Amino acid sequence: MSAAMGTAWQTVTLGADDYDAIRALWEEAGLPIKRKGRDSREQFAAQMARGCQTVLGVRDAEGCLIGVVVATHDGRKGWINRLAVHPDHRRQGLGRYLIAQAEAALRAQGMQIVAALVEDWNEASLALFQATGYVLHRDIFYLTKRESDDV
C-alpha cells in the first residue's frame, strides 16, 4: 500500500476480467478509445494472453479503481501506455506513482529502456512524464500504417 494526502492506495495487477472497470476508468479520464479496434474487449483479452502486457491498477480505500496503467514491451524496450487517473483523484501523485510501478514491472522483465508516446494535445501527460525524468525527443517521428481508423 502507498498513501498520499492520507488516502490509502492498493496496487493490483489487473486481468482481462477487469476489462469493464478499466474501460470505464479510461472513459471517465477522457482517454480516446478505439472500441472496434485495439481497445475492444476481444483485443484486450488477446493482448493479455500474449504475455507481454502488464496492467496495473490502483484502488482506493473503498476498493474503487481510480488509476490504471498498461506496461508493455517488445523484448527490447518497455512502453507505458493508457495511463489514466480518475478526475476526482488527480493532483495527488497517483500518476507519478503509476509511472513508477509500470517502470518497476518493466525493469523486472529485463527492460532497460522505458518509453511513452504522448499525443501533442495532452499537455498534462507530457508535463507529468517530463517531471518524472522522461526526455522529449523532437528528433523522432512516429509513423503508423493501419488497416483502418478503428484499430
The residue extents of the domains of the chain are 9-129
pLDDT at 150: 72
Amino acid at 79: W
Per-residue pLDDT of the chain (151 residues; tens, 9 = 90+): 444 444 578 999 999 999 999 999 999 999 988 888 888 999 999 999 998 899 999 999 889 999 999 999 999 999 999 999 999 999 999 999 999 999 999 999 999 999 998 988 889 999 999 999 999 999 988 888 988 777 6
Task: Write down the residue that cell numbers 494472453 correspond to.
Answer: 49
Give the SS3 label for residue 98. Answer: helix
- Which three cell numbers mark 150? 478503428
* Topology given in CATH for the domain delimited by 9-129: Aminopeptidase (3.40.630)
Distance, in Å, from the CA atom of 48 to the CA atom of 84, rounded to the nearest integer, reads: 18
pLDDT at 7: 58
